A and B are shown apart, each in its own frame.
Chain A
Amino acid sequence: MNDAVKEMEPTQKLKFYQKGTFTVGNRLVSEADRTVQASIERSNAITCGHRACQGCGEALGARYVVDAAMRATNNNLIVVNATGCLEVFTTPYPETSWQVAWVHSLFGNAAAVATGVAAAMRVKSRSEVRVLAQGGDGGTTDIGFGCLSGMFERNDDVLYVCYDNEGYMNTGVQRSSATPPAARTATTDAVGDEPGNVFGTGKNVPKIAMAHGIPYVATASVADLHDLERKVTKAMSIHGARYIHVQVPCPLGWGSASHDTIRLARLAVESGVFPVFEAEYGVITGRRKIRNRVPVVEYLKLQKRYAHLFKNGDAPRLERLQKMADRNIAEFDLLSHEGNV
Chain B
Amino acid sequence: MPQHPFAITLDVGSSLANQTGSWRNERPIYVDRLPPCNNACPAGENIQGWLFHAETGDYETAWRVLTQDNPLPACMGRVCYHPCESKCNRADVDSAVGINSVERFLGDQAIKNGWKFEAPKKESGKRVLVVGAGPSGLSAAYHLRRLGHKVVLQDAGPKPGGMMRFGIPKYRLPREVLDAEVQRILDMGVELKLNAKVDNIQETMKAGKFDAAFLAVGAHIGKRAYIPAGEAAKIVDAVSVLRSMEGEEKPLLGRKVVVYGGGNTALDVARTAKRLGASESIIVYRRTRAKMPAHDFEVEEALEEGVTMRWLSTIKRMDEGNITIEKMELDKTGFPQPTGVFETLEADSVVLALGQDVDLSLLNGVPGLTIKDGVVEVGPNMMTGASGIFAGGDMVPSERTVTVAVGHGKKAARHIDAWLNGKTYVPSEKHDVATFDKLNAWYYTDAPGTVRPVLDTVRRQSTFDEVVSGLDETNALYEARRCLSCGNCFECDNCYGVCPDNAVIKLGPGNRFKFNYDYCKGCGVCAEECPCGAIAMVPEEI
Contacts and interface: CB of A to CB of B under 8 A. Distances in A.
A234 to B, nearest CB: 20
B229 interface: no
A329 B444 CA distance: 24
Contacts of A260: 528
A138 interface: no
Nearest to A61: B500
A122 interface: no
A37 B496 contact: yes
B525 A48 contact: no
Contact of A27 (B56, B501, B522): B56
Contacts of B501: 48, 50, 52, 59
Given A16-B445, A24-B498, A262-B529, A51 B20 contact: yes
Interface-central residue, A16, A25, A57, A257, by most chain B CB under 10 Å:
A25
Interface string B443-461: 1110100000000000000
Interface stretch (B216-224, B257-265, B482-490): B482-490
Contacts of A259: 523-525, 527-528, 537
A17 B500 contact: no
A63 B499 CA distance: 10
A95 B10 CA distance: 10
Contact of A95 (B17, B444, B478, B506): B17
A94 interface: yes
Nearest to A59: B500
B361 interface: no
B13 A95 contact: yes
Interface string A1-32: 00000000000000011111111111110000
Contacts of A19: 55, 444-445, 481-485, 490, 492, 531
A48 B519 contact: yes
Interface string A237-275: 000000000000001000001111111001000000000
Contacts of B531: 19-20, 23
B428 interface: no
A257 B525 CA distance: 10
A11 B370 CA distance: 66
B11 interface: yes
A54 B521 CA distance: 6
B13 A48 contact: no
A8 B90 CA distance: 30
Nearest to B20: A49
B509 interface: yes
Contacts of A93: 10
Interface string A53-74: 0111101100100000000000
Contact of B12 (A25, A94, A261, A266): A94
Interface residues of B, number: 54
Nearest to B483: A19
Given A48-B501, A63-B502, A259-B525, A18 B492 contact: no
B482 A25 contact: no
B493 interface: yes
A18 B500 contact: no
B344 interface: no
Contact of B523 (A51, A94, A261): A261
B485 A262 contact: no
Given A19-B484, A22-B442, A94 B10 contact: yes
Contact of B445 (A22, A28, A60): A22
A48 B528 contact: no
Contacts of B478: 16, 18
Interface in A68-104: 90, 93-97
Nearest to A23: B492
A37 B506 CA distance: 11
B36 to A, nearest CB: 16
B14 A25 contact: no
A46 interface: yes
Interface string B34-56: 00000000000000000000011
Nearest to A48: B519
Contacts of A16: 445, 447, 478
Given A24-B494, A261-B500, A49 B16 contact: yes
B492 A46 contact: no
10 contacts: A20-B443, A22-B442, A38-B496, A48-B20, A48-B501, A49-B519, A55-B523, A60-B525, A96-B13, A261-B525
Interface of A: 16-28, 34-35, 37-38, 40, 44, 46-52, 54-57, 59-60, 63, 90, 93-97, 225, 251, 257-263, 266
Given A24-B492, A48-B16, A95-B18, 9 more contacts: A16-B445, A18-B481, A24-B497, A38-B496, A49-B17, A56-B523, A95-B12, A258-B524, A258-B525
Interface of B: 10-20, 23, 55-56, 442-445, 447, 478, 481-485, 490-494, 496-503, 506, 508-509, 516, 518-519, 521-525, 527-529, 531, 537
Question: Considering the complex of A and B, which 6 residue pairs feature the smallest CB-CB distances, nearest first?
Answer: A25-B493, A24-B497, A259-B524, A49-B15, A55-B523, A23-B492
